[in-house]
Amino acid sequence: MKSLTSAEILEKVSDSAVPKAGSGVLKLLILAILAGAYIAFGAQASAMVSFNLVADASTFGLGKLISAVVFPVGLMMVVLCGAELFTGNNLMLIGLLDKKIRISGLLKNWIIVYIGNFIGALLIAVLINYSGLLESGDGLLGAITVRTAISKTSLDFGRAFVLGIMCNWLVCLAVWMATGAQATISKIFSIFFCIGLFVLSGFEHSVANMYFIPAGMIASANDAFVQLLDLDISGLTVENLLIGNLLPVTLGNIVGGGIFVGIVYWLTYRKLK
């Protein structure tokens, strides 16, 4: 089955912004919670298969590669099962530029979906911590979970912003290609390679961080995890979660997905000959 052209994808993405902007609050919130949970499932699984490798500098790259193979399942579930993901919805800017939706509809969607994504990801972070799974590898998974949260909250604003740009550039390209793919298997492969690339590269995804950082913050209450790798958890604060990481990463995600994918393709196919 033939895939859509980029011009056809642009039209389809533009049209899809209309029901997204017009959806009721409860529907949006439920679908957003599901998306946050799906991304968190992928994040947790990627940590589970790679924690023993990323713990050692000599096998860190291999661990990232294995993690990149598993993490994309989260976005696959979002796209194929139907859910509302903030980072993917940055492409709604195309509908705004085409004057199919208003700025109020765009902001309503983004705000509700962002909150819902956070709820879903936080739910999985709590469940994973109470499941006992972080005890895997004699507690090494728990220690790596805490270390991951520390590394993310230690990023300076500019670096987090840039990593956020590159991340959602790839995420929205994954959504773009999946939109153009007609067969399910084609959608899966479209998502797999772009998302795997961002994970392998170490870019920053706001919704994934809604799982990674809270999961590490909760796990840091376990002294055994902290002592295993002699970790300094003083920086694991709500302020560093929200202002130190999520704010710059979210802004970067909007630029990467909304501008470098959405606006660039809109200008290319709507304004340029």
Query: Can you read off the two tokens belonging to residue 125?
Result: 């972070």
Is residue 202 assigned to a domain? yes
What does the block give as tokens for 204?
């920053």
Instruction: Tell me if 149 is assigned to some domain.
Output: yes
Tally of domains within the chain: 1
Nearest Cα residue to 121 out of 30, 45, 33: 33
pLDDT tens for the chain, 273 residues long, are: 789 999 999 999 999 999 999 999 999 999 999 999 999 999 999 999 999 999 999 999 999 999 999 999 999 999 999 999 999 999 999 999 999 999 999 999 999 999 999 999 999 999 999 999 999 999 999 999 999 999 999 999 999 999 999 999 999 999 999 999 999 999 999 999 999 999 999 999 999 999 999 999 999 999 999 999 999 999 999 999 999 999 999 999 999 999 999 999 999 999 886
Q: Are 252 and 160 in contact (CB under 8 A)?
A: yes
Q: Tell me how far apart the alpha carbons of residues 139 and 126 are, in angstroms, rounded to a whole number.
A: 17
Range of the domain at 138: 6-271
Q: Does residue 1 lie in a domain region?
A: no
Helix ranges restricted to H, the chain: 6-22, 25-48, 51-54, 60-70, 73-81, 93-97, 103-131, 140-153, 157-180, 184-201, 206-219, 223-228, 238-239, 247-253, 264-266
The SS3 of residue 155 is coil
C-alpha pair distances (Å), 182 with each of 1, 2, 18, 79, 179: 6, 7, 21, 13, 8
In a domain? residue 260: yes
Q: Is residue 191 part of a domain?
A: yes
- CATH number of the domain at 261, please: 1.20.1080.10
